[in-house]
Amino acid sequence: MIVTMSEKKIFQLEYTLKCSVPVLYNRISSPSGLSEWFSDDVNIKGDLYTFIWDGSEETAEIISKKENKSVRFHWVKQDKTTFFEFKIEKDELTRDLALIITDFIEDDEKEGAIELWNSQIDDLKRALGL
C-alpha cells in the first residue's frame, strides 16, 4: 500500500512470523534486540536511538511506543511528517503474528526498499531461530 504524503510516500510491508509477542516486541523495541537484525549496533540516550551500520550512524527518536504492540521512530534528519514503524498484529484464528512495517520512500525507491526490508526480515528470522 502506498499513500502520498509530502515528497515521500508511505509504504507498508507485512511479514508473518512464528514466535511469541513478547519475544518479537523485544526485537523491535530494545537496543539489544534491534542490534540483532536491524543494525550492527544501537546506542540509546533518552528517546534517541543511534543506529550504527558499517561505521555510519543515523539517529532516530521514538515518537510512539505501545507495549507488545508497536514502536514508531522518526529519523531526526528527515522531514517531521515521516517515520518508520514496527507494528505487531496477532491473527485470532490462526494465532500467527504479523509484523507490519511502515516506512516512507521516494517514487524511485520502492524496489530497493522492498529488497532492503526483505533482507532485514531474513536477519530477524535468523535471530528468532526461524
Burial class (CB in 10 A: 0-12, 13-18, 19+), 86: buried
Distance, in Å, from the CA atom of 15 to the CA atom of 88, rounded to the nearest integer, reads 10
Model pTM score? 0.85
CATH number for region 2-128: 3.30.530.20
Assess whether pLDDT exceeds 70 at residue 1. no
Task: Tell me what pLDDT residue 102 has.
Answer: 95
63-86: average pLDDT: 93
Q: Where are the domains of the chain?
A: 2-128
DSSP state of 83: -
Q: What is the mean pLDDT of residues 15-43?
A: 94
Task: Write out the three cell numbers for 8.
Answer: 515521500
